[in-house]
Amino acid sequence: MKSLIERLRTRRLFSVFVLLATVSAVIVAGSFAAHGVRGQENQNDSSDATPLKVVNSPVAPNEFVKIAKLVGPAVVNINTQTFPKQSDNHGRRNFHGHVFQQPQDPNGGGDDQDQQQGQGQGQDNFQDFFNRFFGGQMPDQGGPDQGGGVQESLGSGFIVDPKGYIITNNHVVEKADKIYVKLSTDPDSQDLGRPARVIGTDKATDLAVIKIDANTPLPTVKLGNSDTTQVGDWVEAIGSPFALSQTVTAGIISAKNRTIEPGASGQFQHFIQTDAAINPGNSGGPLLNMNGEVIGVNTAIFTQSAGYQGIGFAMPSNTVVSVYNDLVSPSHKVTRGSIGIQFREGLSGAVNRVYGFKNGVLVQEVQPGGPADKAELKPGDIITAIDGRSIKDGDDLVNEIASRRPGSTARLGYIRDGKPQDTTVTIGDRDKVFAEMTGQQPPAAPDDQGDAGETTLGIVVREASPATQAKIHGSGMVIQSVRTGSFADLQGLAPGLVITRINKQSTATKAEYDGVVKKLKTGDDVVFEVIDPRHPEAGINYIGGTLQ
């Protein structure tokens, strides 16, 4: 038995030896083969090869180069921070968290309501893949509305006033708690940039104006005439796609007057379409003509992959100028006119023939007590002219009425029962007319917001309780909230602090506080005397700056 075991062991060892010997032979053979290849190196003579040299022949800069150098310094990078908060939004979201509201009446239209543009069978798919595009988190990563961490997003903008006024998109800043701006000349560091505050926003056109403080005049861009642009014109885009600042792309104008969202949300959005490459982070950046003038604000892309697919949309500069001038006005809001009617777009030719009109708007509904009702317009009337100018369609009517100031009058030409008539209508405020039509409260004007400091300083306050007064050994106004980007926010004021005096004047009561704040105006130096009731031993802290 022992002999049998020894023979098996010997055979196993012999098998292992044979295997190792085979592997060694392969390795040695490979070594000789490799040696043979290397041995041929001295036979590859390359002495006849000519070394390459860089040719230093100057290339004349084209127009794109000139525009990039001219405009680039005025294009900025915008970073925003949104802190976690509880949300009551239940709308359908796209991949950047933008809520799309379904129109109440997809076939209706009005000078202050929904309007159907009839984009064809692809409209639903187009809506599904239409994405706002600024760099941010996907929903499954947990945005601020889902209880996640701080959300940081990216956009672009451009300076239009050397004092620091910047145009960008509303959707870049609307949910932000903190806004920072970086110029191309600012140091490339971990610093997010210069703090900015919101001057005004307009959701209807998705535009916003923000401001940064500047010690010296800043570089600016010029606004061109978007109405004179043509399909096929060369354009250039500059922005910060995927955080890559000062990225330049070029293309042409592919189409004009594109309305890509149905209903009220797209009523004032008639875009320039371009194939210049724009991507997440370009939002709010300029679209430029070959004179280096801004003819559009890059706002949206059509995409099935969340990236560039050759179809981008920019808000025309002529619209931008009008909105900007309203937002920097004392009211900081865009006011649009309305006459309180609803109408139906895309009517068949049969309706036109039976009712006897080629161009015009068939009134579907008149708001009781509204401007049109007071002018004695009725459902079934066909509006054909405003102040003697023929009205082509619903878009034409909306644009004409919206451009009028509330309180002004217009002469409407219309057809009733086949007979031409006319009437004078007093234009109403679109927000108020729409609110009355839907039973909602109109947005409060800045002067009607109750708290004198909310508009001027950006804070809401209340009188200190007896317990707080005992802690600080005095009276004052407790800060309840601070609006992001406001004057108070930029000075470092925070909820919980107690303002005891402003510009050496007592603010012990709400009446005293309101009296002091109402006298403040742009350009005034404002100094707050504040106490932190959590650390009253630290005494009074003096915080101040110049009101912008």
Residues involved in catalysis = 171, 206, 283
CB 493 within 8 A of CB 502: no
Query: What does the alpha-carbon distance between residue 140 and residue 444 come to, in Å, rounded to a whole number?
Result: 35
- Residue 290: partners with Cβ closer than 8 Å, 6 or more residues away: 63, 67, 233, 234, 236
Q: How far is CA 424 from the centre of its chain?
A: 38
Q: Which helix (H) or strand (E) holds 191?
A: none
- Residue 436: partners with Cβ closer than 8 Å, 6 or more residues away: 340, 367, 369, 370
CB 411 within 8 A of CB 422: yes
Q: Which residue has the tokens 């600024």?
A: 134
Secondary structure (3-state) at 526: strand
Query: What does the alpha-carbon distance between residue 261 and residue 232 come to, in Å, rounded to a whole number?
Result: 24
Secondary structure (3-state) at 368: coil
Q: Which residue has the tokens 């949104």?
A: 82
Burial of 335-362, coded b for 16+ CB within 10 Å and e otherwise, reads: bbbbbbbbbbbeeeeeeeeeeebeebbb
Query: What does the alpha-carbon distance between residue 273 and residue 249 come to, in Å, rounded to a whole number?
Result: 15
Q: How far is CA 309 from the centre of its chain?
A: 20
